[in-house]
Structure 1
């Protein structure tokens, strides 16, 4: 499979890393010399120039490509380059930021212009936060198997109980288990014999979110039991306004911004949310607006330093949980180490959406975590795939992979070594980045000669 990526920013770079690991042949178009230097370690054809140029696209091999991804920072360049690639026979995916072009996170509305699938990172992030608020007590969560499986990340708050404990000895509530853990900058698939230090972040799978309070009791996070009835959003950005519109009928919403004109425009967009002109980095403003009664404080300004400061201040003055938008996925662990509950990168959140569309037909859902070092995918088992009609204990998964769950029809199976994997099943599997190619091969259809 040959793919061409236009744009080597964080999103393009992360998608490129994953596709190369999964055996794609790849070309990357980038016009900035400093970015070319930063991606020179990738085993890909790197072409310097404007991705919207027919000549540059030809030099990148778009004539023989299967997929083209327009991921530059310019909507117009992405649309033009997708149109050219589409005319050459490519399937196309384009990053679109402007509300003039796109009003949904993922859409086929620009297909007449050559963009088969248009993706908006800001709206992907906004809807992810809204989903977290409404279904998961504000933990960083992904949903699989038609909502029957939730995978989320929690820090260990109860250091003394976890230090030296083995994963298999942790008393997790029924229907939940630890599938991976993050230690420093490294991530590991959890094995029962693995010994924890007590400072890790746990990746947990759960079949019933009603048990999340009990999971919080185990990890020492008491605020997981708090239902969200009042939120404060700082930043009348596209993320902030879309989030306010999504949540204003479900709970009390305060939308705050420093800029008076931004507040005026926001007030015209929302119906029930209260729009306030003020700074959430001012403790007096926070106290005046009742921060101690806020269940969730969400900072979504364009500046991640401001988001960090405002979130920490809100936490100090009584907000139960905090969410901060970040510009670089690599900063996630730093934000969460200093006490912010969830840090979200719109670009990294969008990587999973892009991968899901690349693997359309095989992957039903896909997400990446921790700077794309962990991939969780819901894969369809075709009758001719290598894993079909196999007993689970005979499926040779590489170290660094674990099956999270299996959906058969509408039923989530209780799996063990004797479980048969049948055609039509949907298998949710977590894999570390360096073994993802082997997992993709397991679900590939057998070639019939």
Structure 2
């Protein structure tokens, strides 16, 4: 498929890098230095220009495009790009927006602005924060098969009962699959004799109950977060509070700006909004913020979010989650003590990428900054897996692949060597990034 991407920021670059091997890609940006740089770093056509200009879109190959992705940092620009593309050609359009109000307008109007699919960055980020907060020791959490199956990535502490044991010895769960281990900068696809070490990050796939049991017994997680403090009434902070409210929580939100604090207080009936500077240690101590189960830093800069997270950790907060705009800070944040760093642009790129995959790809979750993915695929009759036992079929798959779970007619099946995959099954697969294209083609 021929894909045009408008906006060469972090989201656009990430999408382009993910697609360059399997699609013909044109990337438009108004910054000439950026397009020149990407000419040498990516195998895509780069064009300097205004993506809202129909002539620029035509220069990028609009007539042959099957997909136009508008992912600049301006919501209105993205809507105009999609409208222009839709008016001039038969093309599927995706717009990235930050404001939930635009998403709700689009949803209520059944395709307004010429947008076929809209992705709201702040809402996706809020939902990711909520998922991770539900498993307080997890670094990444996602759901598949309509919530029937869950994937999570956990740290293994020194005192974990599975530290220094093989996967075979640790595998005592009926509906759980050990998919992979991230150890320092190395990825290890697990086998029965793989030894799990303290400090590893282990990726598991299974039923929600089995994931919870694993978290409690192996990853030594505390109880589910009940006392939630959100610092910063940014749009992400606001959406996060709303997400917790929608699930029955009563979070606290700290915002220093008087007008913004009043505005969100009126919109969040089940959130206690406190007007203060979250770096004021006397205020934090007086309000017992140190007793919170999780503190979420959602201020307007990475540096402020790091400071708030470190203060919260010093006060004794069980878990800290920080929003980061610069992906290069992710490892730094977690090295100095922030439990989880979430990049809104990565969440957005992940959501958009699944629309560029083959028709049978239902869900995509990227791990460790796209080092690997967990994907959900509906198996067709021509799949290499169909009517074969997994132990046999996986011999025809490349290295770096683990079948983590199967959904069949709404039932979760834990894959074992003798399990036979049927046409129509939804399989959830862990795939190393360098094997992804081959795997999708075979399955």
Q: Tell whether 2:91 aligns with 1:90.
A: yes
In structure 2, the partner of 1:178 is: 178
In structure 2, the partner of 1:143 is: 143
Q: How does 1:1-400 map to 2 (within 5 A)?
A: 1-21=1-21, 23-39=22-38, 40-86=40-86, 87-103=88-104, 107=107, 109=109, 111-133=111-133, 135-137=134-136, 139=138, 140-158=140-158, 165-170=165-170, 173-196=173-196, 198-209=198-209, 212=212, 214-219=214-219, 221=220, 224-248=221-245, 250-359=248-357, 361-392=359-390, 393-395=392-394, 396-400=396-400
Unaligned runs of 5+ in 1: 444-449
Change (3 A) 1:116 1:394: same
In structure 1, the partner of 2:438 is: 438
State TM-score, norm by structure 2. Answer: 0.91
Of stretches 60-69 and 313-322 in structure 1, the one that deviates more from structure 2 is 313-322
In structure 2, the partner of 1:447 is: none
Change (3 A) 1:169 1:386: closer
Of stretches 370-379 and 110-119 in structure 1, the one that deviates more from structure 2 is 110-119
Deviation at 1:177, TM superposition (A): 3.8
> Does the aligned pair in 1 maintain the 2:137–2:154 contact within 8 Å?
no
Deviation at 1:273, TM superposition (A): 0.9
Change (3 A) 1:390 1:176: closer
SS at match of 2:20: helix
Change (3 A) 1:108 1:185: farther
The whole-number CA distance in structure 2 between the counterparts of 1:333 and 1:172 is 32
The whole-number CA distance in structure 1 between the counterparts of 2:377 and 2:51 is 32
The whole-number CA distance in structure 1 between the counterparts of 2:393 and 2:272 is 58
Count of residues in correspondence between the two structures: 437
Of stretches 236-245 and 330-339 in structure 1, the one that deviates more from structure 2 is 330-339
Change (3 A) 1:432 1:359: same
Change (3 A) 1:70 1:214: closer
Change (3 A) 1:160 1:97: closer
The whole-number CA distance in structure 2 between the counterparts of 1:385 and 1:138 is 36
SS at match of 2:193: coil
The whole-number CA distance in structure 2 between the counterparts of 1:172 and 1:323 is 31
Change (3 A) 1:244 1:84: same
> Does the aligned pair in 2 maintain the 1:295–1:320 contact within 8 Å?
yes
Q: Deviations over 1:254-309 (max 9, x none)?
A: 11012222212211211121111112222212111111321111111121121121
SS at match of 1:43: coil
Q: Deviations over 1:172-231 (max 9, x none)?
A: 644334312222334332233334553322222232436635544434x3xx23122211
